[in-house]
Amino acid sequence: MDKPSPVTRIARNGIMLAMMCVVGMFSIPLGDNIKVSLQFFMVCLIALTSASFYDGAIVMACYLLLGLFAPVYAGFTSGITPTFGFVISFIGACPIIYFMNKIPKLNSIIRMAIACVVGLIFVYIVGTIFLMAYLSIWDLGKALMITTVPYLPFDAIKIALAVIIVRMLPKSVGGAGK
């Protein structure tokens, strides 16, 4: 893939930020305080298709800053909430996924899936620690039941969809396809 021009990268990052804001707002309530959003799906798409490691981090930092004032977080929320740690973690997850996806000698599908799983682990760690501190929950098991366990199947589906979509995208837009 040829290195994109700065104008192309800025335009692409703006589009990715807009997509993150739109997709990130919507969530599906599944029960008591369990809402599934597509935020991590977009993190994976952005990180796997970024032109450089910091493009994804810049998009996520802009998303974090925008969400402090505008209701672009899951469930049309804004500001610092108990789940704000997950949004913070997206800034670090993008470079992790980007670099893990550059590991040579692995099948591209396996490489992308592993990269997204490692990024998800980072997101879970940061998000859980923030929630524990924010709500003063000092029982790790209880915190994991709130932040991680109910979401594992949904996050596996998000990773699979992100890998499939990136695999289908042409290389000219950062995909792994033809």
Instruction: Identify the H or E element spanning 30.
Output: strand 27-31
**Chain segment 50-109, per-residue pLDDT in tens:** 988 899 999 999 999 999 999 999 888 889 988 899 999 999 999 999 999 988 877 889
Instruction: Domains for the chain: give ranges and CATH numbers.
Output: 6-173 (1.10.1760.20)
Instruction: Please report which confidence band the pLDDT of residue 161 belongs to, taking 50, 70 and 90 as the band edges.
Output: very high
Report how far apart, in Å, the C-alpha atoms of 15 and of each of 9, 10, 130, 148, 171 are: 10, 9, 29, 29, 18
Supply 127's token pair.
């998000």
pLDDT of residue 176: 62
